[in-house]
Amino acid sequence: QVQLQESGPGLVRPSETLSLTCTVSGGSISSLYWSWIRQSPEKGLEWIGYMFDSGTTNYNPSLKSRVTISGDTSKNQVSLKLKSLTAADTAVYYCARMSRFETTMVVDYWGQGTLVTVSS
């Protein structure tokens, strides 16, 4: 059974950089697609990006200039960095695994989510 657990600060100041870590158990980050998705009342569910092949990334164009997703295979962890934060980045951040089911990409495992508030 794959399990994902997000960790990181719950409060970050405007203009700073958010750093979140996702620890994966029951599966290797060396295969499949490891994603970050966020959810807020204002924007709903927003796909941030994913990493696959332990380093190749694909980001949402709306966030691309501010986002970095990376992996540490020795710890089986995936990390998210989001810089130049504003209040609009306040959201629940989910770590998630994406897989190809037949011909379609799905999110088949999610972490429990972590609330990040951007405020001074």
Partner 1 sequence: DIQMTQSPSSLSASVGDSVTITCRSSQSIFTYLNWYQQKPGEAPKLLIYGTTSLQTGVPSRFSGSGSGTDFTLTISSLQPDDFATYFCQQSYSTPPYTFGQGTKLEIK
Is residue 7 close enough to count as binding partner 1 by CB under 8 A? Answer: no
Which part of the chain contacts partner 1 (CB under 8 A), choosing from 7-15, 45-53, 68-76, 78-86?
45-53
Is residue 71 close enough to count as binding partner 1 by CB under 8 A? Answer: no
* Nearer to partner 1 (CB atom), residue 51 or residue 85: 51
Is residue 115 close enough to count as binding partner 1 by CB under 8 A? Answer: no
Contacts of 75 (CB under 8 A, 6+ apart): 23
Is residue 89 close enough to count as binding partner 1 by CB under 8 A? Answer: no
Q: Nearest 5°: CA angle at 72, between 29 and 40?
A: 70
Of the candidates 97, 109, 82, the one whose C-alpha atom is nearest the C-alpha of residue 8 is 82
Determine the size of the site formed for partner 1 (CB under 8 A). 25
Which x/- pattern over 47-66 shows residues binding partner 1 (rule: CB under 8 A)? x-xx-------xxxxx----
Q: Which of 36, 77, 80, 111 binds partner 1 (CB under 8 A)?
A: 111
Contacts of 42 (CB under 8 A, 6+ apart): 88
CA distance 52 to 66: 19
CA distance 35 to 45: 13
* Nearer to partner 1 (CB atom), residue 56 or residue 120: 56
